[in-house]
A and B are shown apart, each in its own frame.
Chain A
C-alpha cells in the first residue's frame, strides 16, 4: 500500500471527522495536534511496510543468486519472504 502525503492527510481528516460526528473523541491538545498525531501514526506504519518490501526484494535477489534461481517461483518466494519479515517485525500486511 502506497499513500502520498496528501492522501494520508485526507485519511486522517476522514477518521477524525467521523469520530467527531459520532462524538467518540475528546481532543485534549487541539484538533491540529490530533490530526498531526494521526498522520504520524499512519505515515510510520506505511514507512515500515515500504522498508519491509525493499528488504524482501533484496533478500529475494540474494537468495536467487545463491541458488541459481532456476525453477523458483519468484512471486511465491517473495511472498514467503515478506510474510516471514512481517512476522519478525510484527507488521500486519
Chain B
C-alpha cells in the first residue's frame, strides 16, 4: 500500500487540527507533535507494506497456489494477514 509524503503530511495535519479544534488535546510543541504524527503514519504504512509483501510471498509459495484476486485467494490472504500481524504482536 503506497502512500506519498504529501498524503502523510496531509493526514497528519487533519488529525492534529481535529484534536486541537475540538478541544480534545493540547500540544506543548506543535512542530514536534506534527513530526511525531507523520512518523507514526509513515511507520504504520511501512509495516502494512511489509506484512502485505510477506503474505503475498507466502501465498505465491503455497503448495496449492490460488489465483490472485479469487475468492479462495482473498480468504487465505486475510487468514495469513492476521497470522502475520499476530506474529509481529501487532
Please provide the 4 A-B residue pairs with the shortest distance between their CB atoms, ordered closest to farther: A92-B10, A41-B18, A26-B26, A15-B40
- Given the known A-B contacts A10-B44, A24-B36, are A42 and B4 also in contact in the complex, defined by CB atoms under 8 Å? no
Report B's interface with A, CB cutoff 8 A.
1, 3-4, 6-7, 9-11, 14-15, 17-19, 22-29, 32-33, 36-37, 39-41, 43-44, 48, 90
Task: Determine which of B17, B26, B37 lies in contact with A28 in the assembled complex, contact meaning CB atoms within 8 Å.
Answer: B26
One of A31-39, A53-61, A68-76, A77-85 contacting the partner: A31-39
Which A residues touch B39, using CB under 8 A? 18
Task: Determine which of B9, B18, B36 lies in contact with A18 in the assembled complex, contact meaning CB atoms within 8 Å.
Answer: B36
In the complex the two chains form, is B90's CB within 8 Å of A25's CB? no
- Given the known A-B contacts A19-B33, A24-B36, A41-B15, are A11 and B44 also in contact in the complex, defined by CB atoms under 8 Å? yes
A25 to B16, CA, bound (A): 10
> Max chain A CB contacts within 10 Å: which of B7, B22, B24, B28?
B24
A26 to B43, CA, bound (A): 22
Which B residues touch A89, using CB under 8 A? none
